[in-house]
Structure 1
C-alpha cells in the first residue's frame, strides 16, 4: 500500500507539501540557539529558572494547547548531558511527558548527519570534495538545464560543468526538489516518486498520494533523467542533493546508506535512538506530529500509527530520520569535540573543520536566497563559529565552536510558519540575557 506522502498541490496555503516540508523558515533559528551563553556552573538538568522568559514561552504554547510540547536542550562543551527548558507531553491530551529520550521526526536536521558521513569518506580519500558526481553515478554525466525553472522539460540547454560533491553538500548543484520546484518539474518529481519526505500513513484531505520510488538506487536513476533548475555552481537553491549523497555514499562505501550511518556515526557516537524506521518496541516514545490549520492543531501523524514505524521506500539522507534530544545532542557534542566523543574517534578534526565551514563555490550568487550574507557547509548553515540546520516539523539544532555550545529546539508541528516560535524565542532569549547581564553587573 503506498504511503500517503503526496503532492499537496490541491491544499490550502496553510497546509501543502511545500509548506509542510519546507525548512527555509527554520534553519535561521539555529543561529539564535547558538547564541545562548550557557553558564559553566549550571548543573541542574532542568534549568528553566535561569531562562524564565524562554520557559514562559514554552509554557504558553503547551498550556494553551497550541502544541503538545516545546523543549529546548543545550549543553556546554563536553558535558555528558544536555540541560533542558520547557517540556509537555508526547501528544495533546495524553499524560506521557516528553524528555531527552522522546522521539521526534527531525526531517532536514538529517542533512548535517548525511553531510558529515560524506566528509568521512572525503577525509578517507574515497571521495573528492570537487569530484564530479558522474564518476560515481554515471547517469549524472551530460545533464540538461531548464531554460525556465518553471517551464517545459523539453526546453533545455546543456549543463556547462559537471555536478560535484561540493555542490551536492551546499545545494548549489542546480537540482530541483519536490517541495521547492514548480510547474512541469514539480509534476515530474511526483510522477517519478521523488518525494521530499514522509508525512503520514493517514489520508489527508486534499492531498493526492504519491507512490515513492522503489529504493534509493532507482530514486537516483530517475532523478538523473530530469533536467536541472539552474546551471551548476551559479545559484543557491534548496534541493534534493543531500538525498542524492545517500546514494553516493552507498556506491563509494559498498554499504547500504543507513547501515553506513549506523556503523560510522550512530554507533560510535552512542546514538541508540536514531532511525529511519522506528522499531515497534520504541513506538511508545514517539511524539505525535500536528498540522496547524487556522491556529488549531490536529494530528497528521500520531505516534502509535506513525508512517515512521514503516520501512521507508527510500532511505532519505535529506529528511528521513527520527531522533531524540539526547541522541542529536551527542551528534552535536561529537562535532564540538572535533570528531571525538567520550574518547572515541568518529571523524577527523580536519573533516569537522572543513565540513562546518563555508563550502559554497565562489561562483554562486546568493542574492535573494535564504543564505544571502551567510554560508553553507556539509549539509548545514555555516556562519561565523556556528553550524546547524532545522527540520520541517519544528526542530532546530546548532553548535557554536567559539561558545562551545550545542543547542536544540524540539517540538512537532507543520507548517513551520503557522506559529512565530522562532521570533518569539529570540525575543525571550534576549530578555533572559539582559537579566543575566544585569544580575552579573549588580553582583560585581
Structure 2
C-alpha cells in the first residue's frame, strides 16, 4: 500500500475536538455520543464514509485515527453486509485483514531479533537447511528451467520481499501453476475454494517451508523487490527459533500483552455476528464471496498464515499501531524496545533496492522513494497526497489499510471488505479527507 501520512496538524485536530473516553482493549459497542464527537472532529472523513455507503459502493466502513496518546477517533458508516438486519459497522466489527497480517509477523520476527534468537542477516538455511541450495528460474513466465542461485536467502530478504520467492496472486505461467499444484497458497478465500486448496496444501507451517524450498526462485535473492510468500516462511522461522507454535507466540508475546482480544486465526462461532461479509466486484456490481454466516474463517486454517491469515477489528489493529507509534509500549506494557521498533520501521531492503513494484494484487501504491521494513512499506521522503517521511504501513487484499508514523506520532486504520482492494481508491481519498479535517481544525 501507499505509505500514508496524516499531517502533524491531525494531533491539533483531535485535541481541539476534545474526544472523550479511552480506547478499550475489550470488545465494546461504540457509544453514539463518542461516534458523534469523532464525526464532528473529522467531518470530511465522516462525509466521505457516508457517501461511499449511500452511493452503494460498500455496505460499511470503519476508520480508527489517532495522534499521540489522545483517545482514538473511530468513525464508521453503514453495516456489515447487505443482508436485512445486519449489524452496524463499528470499532469492534471483525474484518479479514489479509496482508495486514504481514506487519504483525514482521514485528514478531523483530522481537526475536531483539532476543538474539534471529539475526537479520542470518541465512534462511540456518533454520531450514533445505534452503541451502536454491535454484533460480531462467524465464519465470514461460518455463521452470533454472540455474543455481548465487546468493543465499537471508531473514532480511524474507521480511522485505527480496528473497526471490513467488506469490500465486502475482506470478503467471508455469511457476504459478506449480505453486498451486504444491498447495503453496497460504490464504483462505471461501469454503468452496478452501476445500480444493486444503487437499494440496501442507498440513503444518514447517512442512510448508520445506515444500517452498523445493521450488525454484523467481529472481536471484537480493536482486529486486517482488511481492511474495516470504512472510509466511518467516512465520515458520519464528516458530523454529522461538520453540513455540507461531500462533501461540503471537498470542503470548503480542496479542495478550497489547489487549488485542479480537484478533483471530479462527473466528469463534459465538462472534460471527460481529464478522463482516466479504464481497467481490464485477464492474460496479458486488456479490458476496464469503458470507459471514458460512465464512471460511469460522474453520481453522491448515496452519497460521503469517502473510494473510488474520481477522481483526479497527480497535485491535489500532492498538498494534499505537504500540509501534509509542516505540514498543502501550498502556505501560512494553513488548519491544524502542530501538527495535525504529529498526523495524526503517528501510531494511538490501543495499541498492527500493520498493517500486506496484501491483494491484498487493494493494500497493508507491510514490517517490519508498523502502520496505519489517513486513510493511516505509516512506523515505515526503510526497503527494499527505505522504510523510517515516510512515510505515501496508494494506490488505480486501481493501483494509493501516499506517503509522512514529516520528509524527500519528496512525490510521481503515476497515472495509471487498475485492479488488483498490476498487474505490480509498488509499488516496481517506488521507485527503483527513488532511482537510486537520487543516480545518488547526486554523
TM-score by length of 1: 0.87
Whether the 8 Å CA contact 1:90–1:97 is kept in 2: the answer is yes
In the alignment, the residues of structure 2 paired with residue 82 and residue 202 of structure 1 have an alpha-carbon distance, to the nearest angstrom, of: 38
RMSD over aligned Cα atoms: 2.1
SS in 2 for 1:418: coil
SS of residue paired to 1:248: helix
Shift of the 368–217 alpha-carbon distance from structure 1 to 2, 3 Å rule, reads closer
2:28 aligned partner: none
What does 1:49-64 align with in structure 2 at a 5 Å threshold?
49-64=40-55
2:326 to 333, 337, 358: 337
Greater mean deviation of Cα atoms: 338-347 or 357-366: 357-366
CA distance in 1, matches of 2:441, 2:291: 39
C-alpha separation in 1, matches of 2:290 and 2:298? 11
Which TM-score applies when normalising by structure 2?
0.87
> Aligned pair count?
407
Q: What is aligned with 2:232?
A: 243
**Corresponding position: 1:41 with 2:16:** yes
Once residues 357 and 148 of structure 2 are traced to their aligned partners in structure 1, the CA distance between those partners, rounded to angstroms, is: 25
Match of 2:402 among 397, 403, 408: 397
**What is the CA deviation profile of residues 134-168 of structure 1, one whole-angstrom value per residue up to 9, with x for unaligned ones?**
01011111100011121321x21111111000001
Structure 1 alignment gaps of length 5 or more: 1-26
Aligned to 1:189: 179
Please state whether the residue corresponding to 2:403 is helix, strand or coil: strand
Q: Would the aligned equivalents of 1:167 and 1:360 in 2 still touch at CA under 8 Å?
A: yes
Given the superposition, is the C-alpha separation of residues 157 and 263 from structure 1 closer, same or farther in structure 2, using an over 3 Å criterion? Answer: same
CA distance in 1, matches of 2:406, 2:286: 36
Q: Which among 59, 65, 70 is matched to residue 74 of structure 1? A: 65
Post-superposition Cα deviations, 1:87-109, rounded to whole Å, max 9, x if no partner, equal 22111133411211111100010
> Quick one: structure 1 residues 366 and 268, their matched pair in 2 at CA, closer, same or farther if it must change by over 3 Å?
closer
Equivalent residue for 2:422, pick from 394, 398, 417: 417
Q: How much has 1:347 moved relative to structure 2? A: 1.1
Q: Could you say which residue in structure 2 is the equivalent of 1:428? A: 433
**In the alignment, is residue 388 of structure 1 matched against residue 421 of structure 2?**
no
Aligned partner of 1:298 in structure 2 is 287
* Distance of aligned partners of 1:219 and 1:203 in 2 relative to their CA distance in 1, 3 Å threshold: closer
1:141-290 to 2 correspondence within 5 Å? 141-153=132-144, 155-202=145-192, 211=199, 212-290=201-279
Q: Distance in 2 between matches of 1:277 and 1:37?
A: 35
The match for 2:339 among 350, 353, 360 is 350
Measured at CA, do residues 368 and 247 of structure 1 come closer, stay the same or move farther in structure 2, by a change above 3 Å? closer
CA positional deviation for 1:365: 5.9
| Gap regions ≥5 residues in structure 2 | 21-33, 359-364, 380-388
Decide whether aligned partners of structure 1 residues 430 and 75 sit closer, same or farther in structure 2, where only a CA change above 3 A counts.
closer
Q: Report matched runs for 1:116-127 at 5 Å.
A: 116-127=107-118
Match of 2:412 among 407, 410, 418: 407
